[in-house]
Structure 1
């Protein structure tokens, strides 16, 4: 049996780049495909910060519905946007090889770093980590696709804005005026692309299994397990990064207060064969060291 695999994607430039990458990989292995772009709620509402919308998976929900209704066969996502619990009937089919996991600062000159400054980001994680390092700065909300955010930075009196390096590199618009934020812990699964399919669709799942990058899959699953155990969803300032070096998985994770003043972190390295519950164990360490109370504080503030 063969069929045309309908690939669901958001219609931003970056999302289309990601979907076309999967499309090329599938066609390279002899499969027929068709792109089906849709708009998500997260793309349509650019006036409200993401955490205020209170919807888990705001960028993935529209595609989930399209898959369940049979309008598309698979969907391609930035994995950091995907809730840790997928809707019933939808499963992970492939984690593509991970790109850069770094956050970068696009700036208008870096003199402000040692003085007062205004930084833009729509991410609670980036905001909390920035304020942890630069408590005298002000952080303003920034929403929209990559191109929209770059334009807003240009038009406003902000000193800089924080972006994921992978997104800018993928669509080749990374400007020269940037610095790597090597001290900032990325979002769980940042830089990774996830392809999902329906659980009962053996044809698509088999087609996608050839695209899975095992090392990336191991690392992002540890990071997402850490997130899930902390019950962060997309709303708490949580960073996590797992890397494989010489047969060991090196993990670092942190939970921050919304204002960046509190930081609870963990670092651990284990052999790959012992890494199955690493994310969960590290999250439990955070929870036992004050993380449980901090998560409650965060939820109380965000729900009011």
Structure 2
């Protein structure tokens, strides 16, 4: 039996994800090894993500390693993965989803009633924060989870925004945090995806056994919403789909960069009709002023 080489970034969180997939595959009787690769996104920490102009900056290095035959499969945080995969690479499994929420790690919360500075490298978090707290300023922060937690300590900022799932997974969730239950997460936040080479039947069949169908449905809807709005890393877009009994609840949002304008789509449908649902919600947003907003966003970021 061939050994499945699992490609991953070398951050603590990425390695945690790869080891999780490794144990699942080995429990099914497969032989695996982990191969870690540094990504451009990890190396260029001094520029905001949207300025780097690369779609899938955290996934590109692993895509190349797969296409070159250095690794057989790759494990990603699904929210980092472009909605269109490179030719020859396919999505083969979505793992059961963890917490979807964003959280605020703070020094103290007094600043919420006055002025303050919040750190985030995400346009989506920045726009939603400014929409709720227009008198605050937002500063850019980059690096892996541990680096960002340290940067918050080392600077005079009041707080920083993180995905709760990442901090929980590597057990670094500080006590001084609050859940931002009003903030719509990134499409597929809290979900891990495994991609394989289309022509590699052995690895693809192995990985397919790990797929969690309810998470696959929700992330499909969220990513379809993102794809139709032409999001990628370069627009403030949030989306969350939740399955409840036989219903699928969806909330999607597009904001202007300064957070002053916000277009929301909120709908519930029978879960069996999920296929084109994300697209329908995105088209509604585009018709309600989203088209003009996307033009402005692209102009500003160009």
- Residue by residue over 1:185-219, the C-alpha shift from the partner in whole angstroms, topping out at 9 and shown as x without a partner, is 00000000000000011101110111000000000
Q: Distance in 2 between matches of 1:235 and 1:191?
A: 20
Map 1:1-304 onto structure 2 (within 5 A).
2-303=1-302
User: 1:141 offset after TM fit, Å?
Assistant: 0.2
Q: Using the TM superposition, give the Cα deviation of residue 183 of structure 1 relative to its aligned residue in structure 2, in angstroms.
A: 0.2
| Residue 139 (structure 1) shift | 0.2
Alignment partners' CA distance in 2, 1:260 and 1:73: 41
Instruction: Give unpaired runs (5+ residues) of structure 1.
Output: none
Q: How many residues align?
A: 302
Return the offset for 1:275: 1.6
| Distance in 2 separating the partners of 1:234 and 1:25 | 30
What's the CA shift for 1:238? 0.0
2:147 alignment partner, SS class: helix
Shift in Å at residue 44 of structure 1?
Answer: 0.2
* Residue range with higher mean Cα deviation, 6-15 or 266-275: 266-275
Question: 2: distance between equivalents of 1:235 and 1:19?
Answer: 27
Q: Distance in 2 between matches of 1:275 and 1:73?
A: 31
TM-score (norm 1): 0.99
Separation in 1 of the partners of 2:271 and 2:180? 27
CA–CA distance in structure 2, aligned partners of residues 254 and 156 of structure 1: 31
Question: Post-superposition shift, 1:23?
Answer: 0.3
Runs of 4+ deviating beyond 2 Å = none
What TM-score, normalized by structure 2, do the two folds share? 1.00
**What runs of 5+ residues in structure 2 fail to find an aligned partner?**
none
Q: Output one character per residue of 1:70-125: Cα deviation in whole Å (capped at 9) or x when no partner.
A: 00000000000000000000000100000000000000010100100100000000
